[in-house]
């Protein structure tokens, strides 16, 4: 591979969008449907944005 080809390959890798990080959560963990914050067990409202939990 020539220097120019290597440079083009490197630029192509940099141009690809970053992959979102996967969030690993404990089994049974719940998250706010509005802001995505982790909810405390038994919470009735999100501690971050105040959205009511559940229906």
Give the domain extent around 46: 30-55
pLDDT in tens, 5-39: 777 767 666 655 555 555 556 777 899 999 999 99
> Residue 12: what pLDDT?
62
Domain count, the chain: 1
Q: Say how far apart CA 53 and CA 28 lie, in whole Å.
A: 15
- In a domain, residue 40? The reply is yes
Asked, for residue 12, whether it belongs to a domain, the answer is no
Residue 20 in any domain: the answer is no
Look at residue 17 and tell me if it is in a domain: no
On whether residue 6 sits in a domain, the answer given is no
In a domain, 22, yes or no: no
- Say how far apart CA 2 and CA 7 lie, in whole Å: 9
Task: Judge whether 44 lies within some domain.
Answer: yes
Q: Which two tokens stand for residue 15?
A: 């141009």
Q: Are 45 and 53 in contact (CB under 8 A)?
A: yes
Give domain status of residue 13, yes or no: no
* pTM score over 0.85: no
């Amino acid at each position: 591979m020539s220097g120019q080809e290597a440079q083009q390959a490197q630029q192509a890798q940099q141009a690809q969008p970053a992959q979102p990080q996967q969030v690993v959560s404990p089994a049974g963990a719940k998250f706010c449907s509005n802001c995505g914050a982790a909810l405390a067990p038994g919470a009735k409202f999100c501690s971050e944005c105040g959205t009511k939990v559940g229906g």
